Amino acid sequence: MDASRPAAITLPSDGLFPSHVTGHGMDMDDLNGFTTAQVLRALGATGRRILGATVHDAALHALLSCRNPATGGFRFWPLDKHPQWAPGLPDDADDTAIMALVLFSANRISTPDLRKMACHTVVCHRTRATVQPGPSWQRVGVFKTWMKSGFDPDMTDCTVNANVVALLAKANLRNVPGYAESCSMILEAISWANNDEQRAACLSPFYPEPGELTLAVEAAAACGAVELRPALQAMHAAPMWRRLRERTCTEVPTICGSPYGLIRWKSPAVGWARQIGGLAAGCPPALLSSLNDVRRHSHGILHVRNAC
């Protein structure tokens, strides 16, 4: 696909890129900050040139409108555009991590603000218990999805945690509580999934497409999360994970969902952005090159002989 947009993808006047939500009796269009952040993350440094300054600025402004001024965290929808059909939801770690990084990359959030926001939001909300019975990779002390008290035990999501790890690595906060626990959990979860697609689907309940974990680990490694490089190398060496990753870069990918996919969001805008931004071509060459020296994880969780 070239840089021209498919006719079905309209550039938003309010900055929010479109998605379509289905399931549980719903079949409707939706405008939210998460989809918009995924478009901007996929386009990366080329976003302003491809979208044009007006649309790019509007999209960044839309992300800022998802920020809760009382907490500093972010939500799925702008605070003044929460749809009537959706239940009231608190700030969440995934939107906070993804949106904050996009805004930081665009110089809309300063380094001190990024660090303060991370410490006062995601770092303060870590699991104190695990859902039982559950798989062996679950950890106490990793980052919760919902940043609100009363959500214990929270459903542990590896993709959410990888996105938070990316935020903390970019903010030079790799020593904060929860960072090491999350990296360890992701490594163990990938090992546990092995070549079983059904197991891979269990790692991220809010992401119906398991391959989204690969994109999140790539983003974390690119942000400086060296602890996840063995995980990324293992995923790119595994046919199953490569196949799952390819599904995230189709023309209309499923980008997120309610727990275990009862309700799902799809977005041709995200599919287009991933094609144009180069994600569909595979892991960025510079990132792949940085993995060549990785031979094994220091704790022996993963042993990888060949670079991807």
Cβ(125)–Cβ(147) under 8 Å?
yes
Q: Does residue 101 belong to any structural domain of this protein?
A: yes
Q: Does residue 187 belong to any structural domain of this protein?
A: yes
Which pLDDT tens digit goes with each residue over 177-207? Answer: 999 999 999 999 999 999 999 999 999 999 9
Q: Does residue 298 belong to any structural domain of this protein?
A: no
Q: Does residue 156 belong to any structural domain of this protein?
A: yes
Q: Is the pLDDT of residue 308 over 70?
A: no
Cβ(171)–Cβ(216) under 8 Å?
no
Domain range holding 199? 18-290
How many distinct structural domains can be found in the chain? 1
Task: Report the CATH number that the domain containing residue 35 is assigned in CATH.
Answer: 1.50.10
Q: Is the pLDDT of residue 159 over 90?
A: yes
Q: Does residue 5 belong to any structural domain of this protein?
A: no
3-class SS string, 255-308: EEECHHHCCEEECHHHHHHHHHCCHHHCCCHHHHHHCCCCCECCCCCCECCCCC
Which pLDDT tens digit goes with each residue over 74-100? Answer: 999 999 999 999 988 999 999 999 999
Pairwise pLDDT comparison (292 vs 109), residue with the higher score: 109
Q: pTM higher than 0.75 for the full model?
A: yes
Starting at the earlier edge strand, list the strands of the sheet with 26-31.
Answer: 26-31, 18-23, 264-266, 254-257
Residue whose tokens read 């991220």: 204
Which pLDDT tens digit goes with each residue over 2-54? Answer: 456 665 567 677 899 999 999 988 999 999 999 999 999 999 999 999 999 99
Find the angle CA(280)-CA(285)-CA(287) to the nearest 5 degrees: 100
Distance CA 134, CA 136 (A): 7
Which pLDDT tens digit goes with each residue over 209-251? Answer: 999 999 999 999 999 999 999 999 999 999 999 999 999 999 9
